[in-house]
Amino acid sequence: MKNKNKPLSYPQLHHQNHTLFLFFFFCILLCYLVPSNGIEENEAASVGYGYRIGSVSVDPSGKSLTAYLVLINGSTIFGHDIQNLNFIASFETKDRLRIQITESDHKRWEIPQNIIPRQTHSPHPHRTLPETKSSPSQSKTTSSYFLSDPTSDLILSLHNTTPFSFSITRKSTKSVIFDTSSTLFIFKDQYIQLSSSLPKLTSSLYGIGEHTKRSFKLVPSDTQTLTLWNADIGSANLDVNLYGSHPFYLDVRSSSTSIQSHGVLLLNSNGMDVIYSGDKITYKVIGGVVDLYFFAGPLPELVIEQYTELIGRPTPMPYWSFGFHQCRYGYKNVADVEGVVAGYAKARIPLEVMWTDIDYMDAFKDFTLDPINFPLDLMKKFVNTLHQNGQKYVLILDPGISVNETYGTYIRGMQADVFIKRDGVPYLGKVWPGQVYFPDFLNPASEVFWGGEIRIFQDMLPFDGLWLDMNEISNFITSPPTPSSTLDDPPYKINNAGVLRPINNNTVPATSLHWGNITEYNAHNLYGLLESKATNAALINVTGKRPFILTRSTFVTSGKYTAHWTGDNAATWNDLAYTIPAILNFGLFGIPMVGADICGFSGNTTEELCGRWIQLGAFYPFARDHSSKDTIRQELYLWDSVAAISRKVLGLRYQLLPYFYTLMYEAHIKGTPIARPLFFSFPQDIKTYEINTQFLIGKGVLVSPVLTSGAVSVDAYFPAGNWFDLFNYSNSLSVNSGKYVKLDAPFDHINVHVREGNILAMQGEALTTQAARKTAFQLLVVVSKSGNSSGEVFLDDGEEVEMGGKGGKWSLVRFYGGRIGNKVSVSSQVVNGGFALSQKWIIGKVTFIGLEKKVKRLKGFEVETTDGTNFNGNPVIKESRSGNFLIVEVSKLSLPIGKEFKLQVNF
């Protein structure tokens, strides 16, 4: 991707002594005269005084609790307080509690239901527990009102103190997961402040993005904000707001008796600062309402399942998108791009998808081709050749539409009246093509317009996917604010870009209007989501296939429509390491198809860095090499050593394609991420909470990359169990309790291990996913000490719009294995086996690993199918002994994967 912004620079102090003296004197004076944006408890009264409860009622159905809140005292800091508020609490499911706080007398901005559908009524019964009164000796009259659900572990307590507060408690443990009692609640038109105390020693927080962080686990800071305001700031910049906004966090709580997790979402699209100090989390929001959701968990993966049940399950990705992708900003012409494809083929490195950045466009205008360098006839020939070779083509679109009276897209957009307006006329911005208007994706007519342009271009050039960039919205100019407007210049300054940058900088002004008189101030963070939603619908309508969309800007629910990459990183070792926390975060946010620019986008990469990066990037859910035009070329075949590494690691990725794709199915059905933190599988192991340098693919494949220059070993953490090297099953290690192990990691090797108890369905290596899908399946059964192993594989054509839908053409095969006495076996259960049988997919080999060496000599094996039929082939069985374990391989099988079977080996 492209980003005109260099890494952010920060103000520097002059070195003259007298200037320093005046500077510090002025700062001290400001401390006395000007209230800080970060308000401590003893200073909060200058901003607000909180609310008291006027009345409390329960819905006649018993399904919700409503309180009427009255302002205690007013303040004018950051604007006038809202006098009267409604507090509504309801259980939407047994695992989801919602709290809404909004103005009683006027309707405020909330995200429209047609963008993010939400429930308004709960089907579950509720009861209000008796209020608990204080003793007469207390100086203040207090009482608490309770809302609970018989099936839920959560209880809401509404405290009738002055000021009021509320808390959420678990029934099972009596632990408090959210508690506002130690801070004031402030609600002004353009400033809302809400805090919850946290148990500093037992609470581990993850989420609140998008930011580039050194650590996956949030690090407490009293001074650093987690700012949410979508901006074109390169992801090479640490600890500042980036392209997306996700006000959701996962809290993993550890104690001596239990490990329990919960999630919290503040569904609000306005700009905000979030301050996490370890013992408290504070939201400072510049508009909208309080719309809080609490997800009960208690396991981390259940929290994400409950979260995505609300926001929408991730959209399924086409099978081919799990192959390897190549892109660069700066490809010169068709011949250049063709040369890249040929380079991969010559080096025998898998290449699934070729991309072009804005270079293909005519003067950087969307839906056009450069007539000199990327003429239509040559591009059609190029794309057709890709398709003949089983490869795909993806191109970029930016939202800005060039203001050009001879440009068809502009003409049709003006006729449809679909552009964002300011002062009654389309807002004039500037991006790559020069002056532009921006489509208003809140306008219902925009979907017809946008879909029509995609259809016209698809009819001209049959591309396979779309890449949406610059959609924060990025703008090369900063328009002056409307005089005296508190939208363009709100009273509270969020920490935009880490330097309190005005919110209008390099984007569409906040006073601009969308359809329905919705201000950009309120809808700014939604733009990338809305463009992705419209593009998803358009591609389904135009192609009739499962769409592939990659977007830079995201918001809550973006995963329903699109994949994401982490933006403009840099070719540095630090940036390589930062990609792991970034990718894990987007799994929490409900966007499991995520990756980072392999080898780095900006700056020149090196042979060593690129080699190590493809080792890691080969196991990103989305794997793409991408670089900027002002850098050296970094296609994987350019260095012999990197080419050899790429063949090795992408070879394993392509063997694991059925596993990746099945994890996509699981994500689509349940919301579970593809790339996962270790604590998802090992929540009882609190050491996993701190790990930033490793991750799991699914539940049991552990990736432990080298992230520092010159290293030839890696200190990798292994939770308890037996682990086996996926590059060489003879290499294993056994851990009784979690510990760090120093592993050899020469330049040509990355450590990837599978844990006991897993069954992986794999296929053969190939240069395209199409070719790989034609190879026989191989089952890897990793025998567990407990005796039970399991796995599954989801099979369909890889491009049907719905994944696993009713009446669809798909199969799901579950595998169960283990050892009982002198027998080890694997069997299958098949759902919708007809599709797999129609494709004539077979299992050609079954390998058992993890068998303890003490087993006796092999006596033979037997195979049976549920219908009693025999299978074709002349099976061969062999064993090998290495280390502490035995490997048994049964090959030359020809078992139809769509037919249930049981294979048993006897000792």
* CB atoms closer than 10 angstroms to residue 358: 24
Q: What is the mean pLDDT of residues 148-167?
A: 96
pLDDT tens track for 344-353: 999 999 999 9
Q: For the purposes of burial, counting CB atoms within 10 Å of the CB of 55, is it exposed (0-12), middle (13-18) or buried (19 or more)?
A: exposed
Give the confidence band of 808 by pLDDT, cuts at 50, 70, 90: confident
Q: Comparing C-alpha atoms, which of 789, 792, 780, 837 is closest to residue 658? A: 792
Give the confidence band of 129 by pLDDT, cuts at 50, 70, 90: very low
pLDDT tens track for 532-580: 999 999 999 999 999 999 999 999 999 999 999 999 999 999 999 999 9
- Written as one letter, the residue type at 902 is K
Give the confidence band of 856 by pLDDT, cuts at 50, 70, 90: low
CA 455 to chain centre: 29
CA 335 to chain centre: 35
Partner residues linked to 889 by β-bridges: 847, 878
Percent of the chain whose pLDDT exceeds 70: 91
Asked if residue 231 lies in contact with residue 245, where contact means CB atoms within 8 angstroms, the answer is: no
- Catalytic residue of the set 568, 597, 765, 792: 568
Beta strands in 104-142 (DSSP E): 127-133
* CB atoms closer than 10 angstroms to residue 787: 13
> Residue 870 pLDDT more than 60?
no
Q: Is residue 153 among the annotated active site residues?
A: no
What is the C-alpha to C-alpha distance for residues 173 and 175, in angstroms, rounded to an integer? 5
Q: What is the mean pLDDT of residues 151-155?
A: 95
Percent of the chain whose pLDDT exceeds 90: 86
How high is the pLDDT of residue 16? 34
> Residue 528 pLDDT more than 70?
yes
Give the confidence band of 685 by pLDDT, cuts at 50, 70, 90: very high
Q: Comparing C-alpha atoms, which of 3, 11, 31 is closest to residue 498? A: 11
How high is the pLDDT of residue 22? 32
- Rounded to the nearest 10 degrees, the angle between the axes of helix 444-460 and helix 408-416 is 160
Mean of pLDDT over the chain: 92
- Written as one letter, the residue type at 166 is F
Beta-sheet strand order (sheet of 429-431):
401-402, 434-437, 429-431
- Catalytic residue of the set 440, 469, 488, 597: 469
What is the C-alpha to C-alpha distance for residues 37 and 461, in angstroms, rounded to an integer? 52
- Written as one letter, the residue type at 734 is S
Give the confidence band of 868 by pLDDT, cuts at 50, 70, 90: low
Q: For the purposes of burial, counting CB atoms within 10 Å of the CB of 855, is it exposed (0-12), middle (13-18) or buried (19 or more)?
A: middle
Give the confidence band of 120 by pLDDT, cuts at 50, 70, 90: low
- DSSP-assigned states of every residue in 338-387: HHHHHHHHHHT----EEEE-GGGSBTTBTT---TTTS-HHHHHHHHHHHH
Least confidently predicted of 10-19, 876-885, 893-902: 10-19
Asked if residue 847 lies in contact with residue 887, where contact means CB atoms within 8 angstroms, the answer is: yes
- Catalytic residue of the set 447, 472, 488, 531: 472
How high is the pLDDT of residue 821? 85
Q: Comparing C-alpha atoms, which of 796, 902, 792, 904 is closest to residue 841? A: 796
Partner residues linked to 326 by β-bridges: 354, 625
> Residue 330 pLDDT more than 90?
yes
Least confidently predicted of 86-90, 518-522, 547-551, 821-825: 821-825
Q: What is the mean pLDDT of residues 799-805?
A: 96
Query: What angle is formed at CA 871 by the lines to CA 865 and CA 872, rounded to 5 degrees?
Result: 170
φ and ψ at residue 622, rounded to 5 degrees: -110, 120
Label the pairing between strands 549-551 and 465-468. parallel
**Token pair of 695 as six digits:** 């991750």
Q: Is residue 568 among the annotated active site residues?
A: yes
What is the C-alpha to C-alpha distance for residues 390 and 30, in angstroms, rounded to an integer? 65
Label the pairing between strands 597-598 and 429-431. unpaired
> Residue 820 pLDDT more than 50?
yes
What is the C-alpha to C-alpha distance for residues 576 and 898, in angstroms, rounded to an integer? 41
pLDDT tens track for 231-248: 999 999 999 999 999 999
pLDDT tens track for 583-597: 999 999 999 999 999
> Residue 417 pLDDT more than 60?
yes
Asked if residue 206 lies in contact with residue 588, where contact means CB atoms within 8 angstroms, the answer is: yes
Element (H, E) at 652: helix 640-655
> Residue 363 pLDDT more than 70?
yes
> Residue 121 pLDDT more than 90?
no
Least confidently predicted of 392-396, 448-452, 857-861, 882-886: 857-861
pLDDT tens track for 172-213: 999 999 999 999 999 999 999 999 999 999 999 999 999 999
User: Residues with Cβ < 8 Å from 16, sequence gap 6 or more?
Assistant: none
Element (H, E) at 615: helix 607-617
pLDDT tens track for 26-64: 333 333 333 333 334 444 548 999 999 999 998 876 679
Give the confidence band of 874 by pLDDT, cuts at 50, 70, 90: confident
Question: 3-class SS at 564?
Answer: strand
pLDDT tens track for 458-501: 999 999 999 999 999 999 999 999 999 999 999 999 999 999 99
Predicted TM-score (pTM) of the model is 0.93
Q: Comparing C-alpha atoms, which of 212, 228, 233 is closest to residue 5? A: 233
**Token pair of 34 as six digits:** 């000007």
> Residue 9 pLDDT more than 60?
no
